[in-house]
A and B are shown apart, each in its own frame.
Chain A
Amino acid sequence: MYGISKEEALIMHIDLNSAFATTEQQAHPHLRGKPMGVTNRISKECCVIAASYEAKALGIKVGMRRTEAMAICPEFVLLETDPPKYNAVYQKLIKIMQSYSDNIKMKSIDEGIIDFHGMQHILNGKTLEEVGYEIKQRVKDEIGDWMKINVGIGTNRFLAKEAAGWHKPDGLDKIDHTNLVKYYKERKLTDLSGIAERYGARLNAYGIMTAMDFLKAPEYMLKKQVFKSINGTYWYQRLRGFEMDDHETSLGMVGRQWVVKDPSDKDSYLLPCLSFLCETTGMKLRYREVEARGVAVWVTYQNGEYWHQRRMHKSTFYTNQEIYRRALELFNQRPHGIVRTMGIYTYMLTPSQVSQLSMFDDITKVRNITKAVDEINDFYGTFTVYAGTSLEGKKIIKQKIPFGGTEYFELLLKTA
């Protein structure tokens, strides 16, 4: 009726329930079944970056300040993050997933996709639901008995993720042409993955108030009026179970931002921090094996104003010193004021040319010293050798667990 895909559901989405909090409950048996959470650095105004299901049931949400969480539940326990512990769980989860298919993709530290297309022969007649229950049991046996995962099976990545979130926690669901309409009837528009408040409001403006309205909306309307781009067609197909998300996104920019610990307008405080941000940006560039042509610096001020400056260069660069030199030129142009947050990013990225021979001696020397410093830091731990200009910045800026992607997780662990 709605042109729904009749394809066999062969995409499995696996999602660790409240990953960091559940891992801490696994490690701390006395915290199991209790409201608890995890934060990067404990302070009076720190934020909850992961909350246990027990805490969520009380209304404690991710992003909430510690004081707010304690007001809801005075017994709420907050622990600091432990990256090596989460990495151990992440690595074990990857190992389990890879034992079913080579075609896996981790979407973030706590969720991943197994694509079973062409892998039916290794299932030995088992259904994907049976495989899902088997993976659940293996997670308990091989990671820990408190660990719970949601498993979703769908004809595309979108429906698999939706299925994984259908009956949290510890759910296992499949969405295909037989129950797709039933699923949409149960959901609100903003329950759908990728439809948050802004998109929701845009859809509402065109009379699309529910998930079912979204399914019923004609393709031309979504493309020409609602999204005003090809995204409308993508949504039309995605909602019907056709795969629209099986592609790699290209790397657009690499950088680092920082909420200034003690907002300040003094160069003596801000410049070492900028230098440190440039060092971590350089590390990321070399880790991704790319070089940049553009650099940008931005600042937000205590009074709410925003300043931004960017510049393209003729030649590419990748060393910490080059990034800092170019960023400093821009940073020195900023209007005077108390800086609250600052950031730097590099763009126009191209594959690294470090392996190519250079005609010029000084370029070769720069390459060699950068390579040598990276090797020392790799062996003895990151920031064993670093620029003198970053000395004070390193003391002030703390490395944190990133949300979302896992691109730099290995790199982060070296500093943990």
Chain B
Amino acid sequence: MDPTIQINELVPMVPIFKPDASEILRCYPYKMKYRNQEIEFTIFGMRHPTAKGKRMIHVFDMSDGINDYRIEFDAERLLWTLVSMVEGHDVRD
């Protein structure tokens, strides 16, 4: 079954920008606060752009090494939303 848990909550976010990095790793979420827990992303999944009506949305698929998170950045309204997560296991095992 689809293990995705829908969340759709705005979250405090620390993004990171590396001017000299390759295009896919130039800008991405570094860590966020969700339910009073600070979650630091250690694995970059992928980023893809999409549109919601006229708004440009950047979708980031990130992982903290255990769970996968889908995060959306609304480039017009400057909002970070934690859209969903998939509970996993420690992929470093």
A-facing residues in B1-41 (Cβ within 8 Å): 1-4, 22-24
Look across to chain A and name the residue whose beta carbon is closest to the beta carbon of B67.
A30
Q: For the side of the interface on A, what is the size category?
A: 20 to 34
A68 within 8 A of B: no
The A-contacting residues of B in range 44-76, CB under 8 angstroms, are 45-51, 53-54, 59, 61, 63, 66-68, 70
From known contacts A42-B1, A80-B2, A84-B59, infer whether A29 and B24 are also in contact, taking CB-CB under 8 Å: no
Partner of A379, one of B1, B54, B70: B54
How many angstroms between the C-alpha atoms of A271 and B50 in the bound complex?
Answer: 33
Would B88 and A30 count as touching, CB distance under 8 A? yes
Q: Please tell me if A141 contacts chain B, counting CB pairs below 8 Å.
A: yes
B78 at the interface (CB under 8 A from A): no
Interface centre among B45, B50, B53 (most CB of A within 10 A): B45
- Given A29-B91, A30-B86, check contact A144 B46 (CB 8 Å): yes
Q: Does A28 contact B (CB under 8 A)?
A: yes
Closest A residue by C-beta to B50: A84
Can you name the residue of chain A whose Cβ is closest to the Cβ of B52? A381
Q: Give the number of residue pairs across the A-B interface with Cβ within 8 Å.
A: 72
Contact yes or no, B2 A78, CB < 8 A: yes
Are A27 and B50 in contact, CB atoms less than 8 angstroms apart?
no
Contact A30–B46 (Cβ < 8 Å):
no
* Chain A residues, CB < 8 A from B45: 26-29, 144
Minimum CB–CB distance for A82 against chain B, Å:
9
B68 x A28 contact (CB < 8 A): yes
**Residues of B contacting A141 in the complex (Cβ-Cβ under 8 angstroms):** 22, 24
Contact A84 B48 (CB under 8 A): yes
Tell me if A369 counts as interface (CB < 8 A to partner B): no
CA A35 – CA B87 in complex, angstroms?
16
CB neighbours of A142 from chain B (8 A): 22-24
Cβ of B43 < 8 Å from any Cβ of A? yes
Chain B interface residue count, CB cutoff 8 Å, equals 28
A30, A143, A381, A416: residue with the most chain B Cβ atoms closer than 10 Å: A30
- Shortest Cβ distance from A27 into B: residue: B61
Q: A80 to B70: give the CA distance in the assembly, Å.
A: 14
Task: Determine the chain B residues whose CB is within 8 A of the CB of A144 once the complex forms.
Answer: 24, 45-46
B53 touches A380 (CB 8 A): yes
Q: Given contacts A78-B1, A142-B22, are A28 and B86 in contact (CB under 8 A)?
A: yes
Q: Is B89 an interface residue (CB 8 A)?
A: yes
How far does the alpha carbon of A380 sit from the alpha carbon of B54 in the complex, in Å? 6
Kindly name the residue among A29, A89, A142, A416 whose own CB sees the greatest number of chain B CB atoms within 10 A: A29
Chain A residues within 8 Å of B54, by CB = 379-380
Bound Cα distance A27, B3 (Å): 14
Pair B49/A84 contact, Cβ less than 8 Å: yes
Tell me the minimal C-beta distance from A255 to chain B in angstroms.
Answer: 27
A-B CB contact pairs (8 Å), 15 listed? A26-B46, A26-B61, A27-B61, A28-B88, A30-B63, A30-B68, A31-B86, A80-B2, A85-B46, A87-B48, A89-B48, A142-B22, A142-B24, A143-B24, A143-B46
Besides the known contacts A28-B61, A28-B68, A30-B66, 13 further A-B residue pairs in the complex with CB atoms under 8 A apart: A27-B61, A27-B68, A29-B91, A30-B63, A30-B68, A30-B86, A30-B89, A77-B3, A84-B50, A87-B48, A141-B22, A379-B54, A381-B53
Q: Can you list the 8 inter-chain pairs with the closest CB atoms, starting with the nearest?
A: A30-B88, A88-B48, A27-B61, A84-B50, A27-B45, A29-B63, A28-B68, A29-B43
